[in-house]
Structure 1
Amino acid sequence: MTDAVEVAIVASAFGADAVRTAGHRKWAEASRRAGATGFEVRRELFGDEADAEPACLAVLGKQIAELGLWSVYSTPASLYAGDGQLDAAALRRAVDEATALGARFVKLQLGGFADRAHGDAIAAQLHGANVRLVVENGQLTQGGSLHQFVGLFDGLQREGHADLLGMTFDVGNWAWCGVSALDAAVALAPYVEYVHCKIAAGEGARRFAAAPAADDVRFAAVLDRLPRRVPRGIEFPLDPACIDDDATRRVAWLAAA
């Protein structure tokens, strides 16, 4: 029998308004009831900027840990600015906030990576931090191209920082950038440490995130190409009419898929 995979639920799966209104703790509790092992905190879903203060994050982190869950701290900030330079201030802020939360991962968007990885500067920002940095492929061309991610990991290796950071592979986001998720999985699998699970439904401006069907062979093919040892995050919308039952069913499915 194949070992079960760790599954986290991303806060946004419960609905942005619901998280902003009730706070992250309520949905961390729902994630635990559903059988998840992790919970992803989304900075953009805090109801108040004060929620990102270290003391508040420490309280939330303790609450999540007391539920028996590990956490991901996700920020919409980008690792690289539009000119390709490292955004050291954004990285420092994200690492400090994730550390206060006690997160396993701190997740940023890739942003405007061009050719230099700036590995020494990233290493300096991460020095002494007990959190793993992962960068995610986004829905915009800048920060969502396969070429950029291949270039990033090649650049880190050239600079002697091959293991400095990992990748959050968002299966659905590649569609916004016209990239085959399977092609991306083949190229980037060695660097993937966390998987965001969703598909893209619709077309063009009407494209939206959706849950993969249990018999979606294209989604299954992507998962098969990615390392099974890494956790998977539910980022698609859960059914608000039966949210506990839906979350429980989806966690069990992804853990075994």
Structure 2
Amino acid sequence: MTNVIVPLNAFERLEVLKNGQVSFIKLIAQSGAFGVEIRRELLPEKNLQLDMIKSEIQKFGLFTVYSAPIELWREDSSLNKEVLSKVFNEANVLGAKWLKVCLGHYEKVKSSMKDLKNFANDHHEIQLLIENDQTQYGGNVKHLKEFFESVTQNEIRVYMTFDAGNWLYTNQDAEFALRELAPYVVYLHLKQVENQCGELVTIPLHNGGNTFWKKAFAELPINIVKALEFPIEPKEKTAEYISFIKELAKESEEVPCKS
């Protein structure tokens, strides 16, 4: 079974801001999605509307991911406890099972795994995920590998969201990143990024060409949760893209093993 998540930043930003993320839940559910990724940066400043969104999500039985653009480690490499506590509380109100944040300024020698372990234990009801972002420090393969090696050694339940397109923004070798980080990945953001006239642009997925997102799709476990993080325009094409991903997964499962 292929579980497909639809993040709310896949839709036209102004429409999301005007009508609210809650207005897209029914469309996402009826398009055959497994779940939805609610984006904190697209919520109203004064009233996050989390209860309203949760009620709509529960109506359709969708799995919920909460994405917050905050950094796990502050500039001094200490744990960002106050802000983390705030977004964990928001995720709890929303009914999210996963909370996705960025790595931040992790340093192997300075960042306290004890602090992180205590925090994770206190918030064990929600799974913390770290995504490779578009910063030079949070999207760095070496930093991410050292971090995940450390949480594994310290038996801390923190896993990775692997964004297939963000490596271009940080000038990292995407295939090397996949080899190094695959053991920690539980969530795959499918994104195709191209350089158009010197500007990096995210475009809709398509089946042609030798694209990196397809390599990540093929090499990570077939049943891994996948998100469609690219422009879906018009929004009515959501079902078409979900069917596309499910069909690719089905084809992968049908490929005979090589001996």
Residue in structure 2 matched with residue 169 of structure 1 by the alignment: 162
TM-score if structure 1 supplies the norm length? 0.89
Within the candidate set 59, 70, 85, 1:66 is matched to 59
Unaligned runs of 5+ residues in structure 1 are none
TM-score if structure 2 supplies the norm length? 0.89
- One-letter amino acid of the structure 1 residue matched with residue 161 of structure 2: T
Aligned-residue offset at 1:102: 0.7
- One-letter amino acid of the structure 1 residue matched with residue 116 of structure 2: I
Q: Does 1:124 align with 2:118?
A: yes
- One-letter amino acid of the structure 2 residue matched with residue 210 of structure 1: I
Q: How does 1:103-122 map to 2 (within 5 A)?
A: 103-116=96-109, 117-122=111-116
Residue in structure 1 matched with residue 247 of structure 2 by the alignment: 256
The CA distance in 2 between the partners of 1:101 and 1:42, in whole Å, is 11
Whether the 8 Å CA contact 1:84–1:115 is kept in 2: the answer is: no
Whether the 8 Å CA contact 1:99–1:129 is kept in 2: the answer is: no
Whether the 8 Å CA contact 1:78–1:110 is kept in 2: the answer is: yes
CA displacement, residues 124-172 of structure 1 (integer Å, 9 cap, x when unaligned):
22325411100110111020010111010122233x22x4200110000
Residue in structure 1 matched with residue 223 of structure 2 by the alignment: 229
CA displacement, residues 209-253 of structure 1 (integer Å, 9 cap, x when unaligned):
11222134332112122222221011100112xx21x21111111
Other structure's SS at 2:36 match: strand
Residue in structure 2 matched with residue 89 of structure 1 by the alignment: 82
Whether the 8 Å CA contact 2:88–2:123 is kept in 1: the answer is: no
The CA distance in 2 between the partners of 1:138 and 1:156, in whole Å, is 19
The CA distance in 2 between the partners of 1:204 and 1:151, in whole Å, is 35
Within the candidate set 38, 46, 58, 1:41 is matched to 38
Whether the 8 Å CA contact 2:65–2:98 is kept in 1: the answer is: yes
Residue in structure 1 matched with residue 142 of structure 2 by the alignment: 147
- One-letter amino acid of the structure 2 residue matched with residue 254 of structure 1: I
Whether the 8 Å CA contact 1:181–1:222 is kept in 2: the answer is: no
Change (3 A) 1:34 1:94: same
Residue in structure 1 matched with residue 130 of structure 2 by the alignment: 135
Aligned-residue offset at 1:204: 8.1
Aligned-residue offset at 1:59: 3.0
Aligned-residue offset at 1:60: 1.5
Whether the 8 Å CA contact 1:145–1:179 is kept in 2: the answer is: yes
How many residue pairs get matched? Answer: 245
Aligned-residue offset at 1:205: 5.7
Change (3 A) 1:145 1:204: farther
Whether the 8 Å CA contact 2:12–2:233 is kept in 1: the answer is: no
Unaligned runs of 5+ residues in structure 2 are 249-259
Identity %: 26
Q: Does 1:156 align with 2:165?
A: no
Aligned-residue offset at 1:203: 5.2
Q: Is 168-177 or 77-86 further displaced after alignment?
A: 77-86
* Root mean square deviation of aligned Cα: 1.7
Whether the 8 Å CA contact 1:135–1:168 is kept in 2: the answer is: yes
Other structure's SS at 2:169 match: helix
The CA distance in 1 between the partners of 2:66 and 2:123, in whole Å, is 17
Within the candidate set 4, 20, 24, 2:21 is matched to 24
Other structure's SS at 1:86 match: coil
